[in-house]
């Protein structure tokens, strides 16, 4: 017979399990030193104000459930392009979308779930801003097109407008 191992005071002490890590939030992600440094490298002195605007947008009811890394990726894209993320300015937006993904249990049964991801979307003012920065355009303008002003639409050559043929106050697009 094998002799029993005596239990001593030190061998009977249970080590408590480590606390699970806190869930990642946009706020905790942007509080990290490495993230702050990346934005400072991209934006210099504007980094702090930019990050505050991202946190304000991310705390909105539309983005509060978005995956934090997707919000970070949108912010990094806007910072790289040096476009402000402010819905009132219209240069760029962080837009939430629901993304489907599959989870399989032990028996291989699939369950389809959704998660909210943030997506970078550039506004028309952002396109104009980037075009102006190239210095290849003398002027760039944008105007509403009213019902009756669109004369011809050709997928190869573009559109032809007559701004004197306004039929109503109904805006059909912008050019």
The beta-strand segments (E) located in the chain are: 92-104, 110-122, 144-146, 150-154, 158-161, 171-174
Q: What pLDDT, on a 0 to 100 scale, did the predictor assign at position 23?
A: 82
Give the pairing of strands 110-122 and 92-104.
antiparallel
Query: Where does the pLDDT of residue 53 fall: very low under 50, low under 70, confident under 90, or very high at 90 and above?
Result: very high
Rounded average pLDDT over 72-76: 97
Q: What pLDDT, on a 0 to 100 scale, did the predictor assign at position 19?
A: 66
For 76-109, write each residue's pLDDT tens digit: 999 999 999 998 999 999 999 999 989 999 999 9
Task: Give the mean pLDDT of the chain.
Answer: 89
Asked if pLDDT for residue 38 goes beyond 90, the answer is yes
Asked if pLDDT for residue 32 goes beyond 60, the answer is yes
Q: What pLDDT, on a 0 to 100 scale, did the predictor assign at position 140?
A: 87
Distance CA 4, CA 26 (A): 53
Residue 73 phi/psi, 5-degree rounding, is -60, -40
């Amino acid at each position: 017979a094998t002799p029993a191992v005596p239990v001593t005071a030190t061998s009977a002490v249970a080590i408590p399990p480590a606390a699970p890590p806190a869930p990642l939030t946009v706020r905790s992600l942007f509080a990290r030193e490495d993230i702050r440094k990346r934005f400072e490298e991209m934006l210099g002195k504007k980094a702090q104000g930019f990050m505050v605007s991202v946190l304000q947008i991310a705390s909105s009811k539309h983005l509060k459930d978005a995956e934090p890394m997707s919000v970070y990726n949108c912010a990094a894209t806007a910072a790289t392009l040096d476009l402000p993320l402010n819905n009132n300015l219209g240069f760029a937006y962080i837009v939430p979308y629901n993304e489907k993904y599959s989870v399989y249990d032990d028996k291989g049964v699939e369950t389809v779930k959704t998660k909210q991801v943030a997506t970078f979307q550039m506004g028309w003012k952002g396109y104009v801003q980037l075009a102006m920065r190239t210095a290849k355009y003398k002027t760039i303008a944008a105007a509403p097109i009213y019902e009756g002003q669109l004369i011809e639409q050709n997928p190869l050559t573009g559109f032809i407008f007559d701004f004197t043929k306004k039929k109503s106050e109904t805006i059909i697009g912008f050019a």
